Every structure is written in C-alpha cells, then in structure tokens.
Structure 1
Amino acid sequence: MGRPRTPLLDRERITTTALELVDEQGDFSVPQIAKRLGAQTGSVYHHVDGRDGIVELLRERVADSIDPGTLDVAPWDAGLEGWARSYRAAFAAHPRAIPLLMTSPVRAPRVLEQYERAVNLLLDAGFAPADVMVLIIALENLVLGSALDLAAPETMWVLDDATATPRLGEVLAAVGEGRADRAFEVGLAGFLSHARTLLLSPSGA
C-alpha cells in the first residue's frame, strides 16, 4: 500500500482537533487527539512539545482571530478599545478554551508579540511602567469574563420562590435582551475612564 498523499499528522491538524475537543468538552488529551486522527499517541509527540506545546498552539490559534491592527489606531484609548472588542470576539468563539488557556503561562511567540504591541501602545501614550501590566490584566479580566458571559444561559438566576427575592425578580424582568453586551459596554467604559484618569496621575509620579 502506498503512503497517503496527505500526512495523517501535522501541527495544524493536531491544533484543529485539540480545539474541537476543547469546544466539545472543555479539555483534551493527547490520546484523544490521536484517536480522532487515526494515529498512535506516540506519533503526536513527534510533532508537538507535549500537552503544554498543544496548549500554546491552541493559544496561537484563538489569538490569531484578534486583530492586532487595532493597536495601531490613534488615539491610544481608541486603539485599546478596538483591541478589547476584537479580543472578546475571538474568545467568545471558543469560551470553553478560556479556563484552559488562562491557567497556563503564555509562551507562544505570536501571542507575546501582541502583548508587546499593547505594552508599546500604553508606554507611548505616557503610562508609567508600573501601571501598564495592571491595566492589561484588568482589561483581560473584563474581556474574558464577558466572553464567558456570552456563552452562559440567558437565564442564570432561577427564582423558585420569587417572594423571597422580589427585587431581584424585578430587575431580572427589567434587564431585557443583550444583557452580556450591555454589561460589557458598562465595564469597558468604566475601564477606559479609569485609564484616562490614571494617565493624568500615574502611580510612578
């Protein structure tokens, strides 16, 4: 039997399969990837640096959907806002990957390059170095929390006895559609307002 024209395994197929598994069940294993691709588990390790290597490939795959060009937009707050919206959309497409990716160190070069661009944006705007990573982490917390909220059930609060929490029932009835989007807009506006104020009185001053 001749060799197949297309190899069973390569980094792209491994990444795609791992992401499919994460989207389905929130995690993956190397044996699961091998089984789905019709290969031996040991063969997967010939293409990737173990499970940690696959996690970084997943991080790059999801982050590839973030538009880094937003960080070139002036002024700085418009660039940061655009990056936040693109970041949220990228992770909202794969919300079950968030716990996996956010609990492991970032090593992927293309992702680190994007962080470098965000750092440059804030430093060039005049933020103190001590404030820059705090701002980026705070923005990530907002973005990723909102991406998870987009995947949450529309009914997150189940009131079996509405008489016990009547005011909660009242505001839940009043919130209407688009709760996650509206909450994100409130959080992003508050974040940017704080960042603008911080720029006027940086912690390093």
Structure 2
Amino acid sequence: MAEPGPTPGKRAAGRPKRAVLSRESILAGAFALAEERGADFTLAALARRLGVQPSALHHYFHGRADLIAGMRGELALRVGDHGFDRLPWHEAIIPWAIAYRDTFGTHPGLIAALATLPIESEPESMVDYERVAAAFARDGYPEHLIVPALVAVESFVIGSALDALTPDDNLRPSGAEAEANAPTLASAERSAREAAVARGRSVATETFEFGLTALVAGLRAAGETR
C-alpha cells in the first residue's frame, strides 16, 4: 500500500529546497557580508551567502548600486526622526546627528559608498532630508543656506564616524623627540584624553559632541547674518 503524501495545502516537513528571499533578508545578508568585506562585495558573493542564484536578487534590486541604495535607506530609517516637526532645527539636529554617526559607525566598511551615493533612487533618505530641510525653512533659515548647512553637518558626522575608528591617542606625538618638537600639541592631547576619562567617555565621543555643538552654533549665527 502506498504511503500517504503530504496533506494538500501544507508544506512537507523539513527544510525548503530553496532559500526564502525577501527584501529584508537580502539587506540583512548584505550588511553581514559588508562587515566581512566592506563595500567591495559583489551580488554574486551575496547570492552565494544567501544560497540562491544571482538572478533571484534581481527580483528585488536592479543591481549593486540599487542594493547599496537600499542599505542606505535602511540606515536612514534607523537614524529616526528626533522631533524636527516640533522642535527648533538647532535642537532636533543634535540628537539626529548623534544617531546618524552611531548608525553609520556600526558599518565602517560602507561609509564611503553610502556617503557618496545620490539620494535620487532612495526614498528613505529623501524623507529624512526633507524633514530636516522643512525644519530649517519653518524656522526662517535663509533658503539658499539650507542645503549648505545640511551638507556641513552631514560631512562632519561622516568624518566623525570614521574618526571613531581611530585610537583615542591618534594625535599624540610619540617619542621624546616628537614631544619636544610639539610640546603644546602633546599637552593639549593629553589634557583632552584626561578630560574624557574623567567623564567616563571616549575621546572620539567627547570630540564629536563638542564639535557638533560648535558647528550648530556657528550655523545658527551664519543664518542670522546672511
């Protein structure tokens, strides 16, 4: 007597013969691969990691550039809103910039690729930038300075995300001769490290938040005088 087959409408027990793909699973795999290889991975390598043929990825992403755009969009969603619709721009942009640095800093190998990507094909970043620009405009910031101000903050954030990867004593002159040639720098660098340690924070974080506060104050002043 023949063995009964699986009940109609139910999948047979065991692993599916093909990997189940979704936009979310592809992005998760791409982030994991980027942790190992940086931004230099190929769609073929990603397909191997996911156990599918490269052609399967094209149902979700047109190519590698489209995939990178999707990864940037995912990070933009993680950065979040931070109250631009209800707070003055110069208040909301501080936690936004901190979240931006922290989010992008978790994927150092992707920073250059993400930072140089146009937003034209990536709606999540458009929504994020629109939110920030609308807050500037609502608060009466000169229209012709909104994009320069936003780019200035973003450039500082991206540079700081990279700086966070360097040693805390990256600017310390090394060796007796170096300290003799740069005594002011040596003393200032030591003072910065000691101040950060006293506050229980890293030099990179202290430097970033100091610089961000100063930058935003400067942008406010520039918007009032031009």
TM bin, normalised by shorter chain, reads 0.7 to 0.9
**Aligned runs of 1:53-132 on 2, under 5 Å?**
53-106=66-119, 107-132=121-146
SS in 2 for 1:164: helix
Is 1:136 aligned to residue 150 of structure 2? yes
Q: Within the alignment, does 1:187 sit opposite 2:211 as a pair?
A: yes
Point out 4+ residue stretches in structure 1 off by more than 4 angstroms: 157-160
Once the 2 structures are TM-superposed, how far is the Cα of residue 101 of structure 1 from its aligned partner? Answer: 0.5
3-state SS of paired residue (2:60): coil
How many aligned positions are there? Answer: 202
Shift of 1:66: 0.8
Partner of 2:8: none
Which amino acid in the other structure matches residue 44 of structure 1? L
- What letter matches 1:174 in structure 2? S
Does the alignment pair 1:37 with 2:50? yes
2:73 and 2:17 mapped to 1: Cα distance?
Answer: 27
Q: What's the CA shift for 1:159?
A: 5.1
1:5 to partner: Cα distance: 8.7
SS of alignment partner, residue 65 of structure 1: helix
User: TM (normalized to structure 1)?
Assistant: 0.87
1:18 equivalent in alignment to 2:30: yes
Give the equivalent residue in structure 2 for 1:172: 189
Quote the RMSD (CA, aligned, Å).
2.3
Note the C-alpha offset of 1:36: 0.5
Structure with higher Rg: it is: 2
Q: Is the 8 A contact 1:18 1:33 kept in 2?
A: yes
With structure 2 as the length reference, what TM-score do the two structures score? 0.80
Q: 5+ unaligned residues in a row in structure 1: which ranges?
A: none
CA-CA distance at 1:194 after TM superposition:
1.1
CA deviation vs aligned residue, 1:16-46 (integer Å, no higher than 9, x gap): 1111121222112101101111111222222
What is the identity percentage for the equivalent residue pairs of Structure 1 and Structure 2? 29
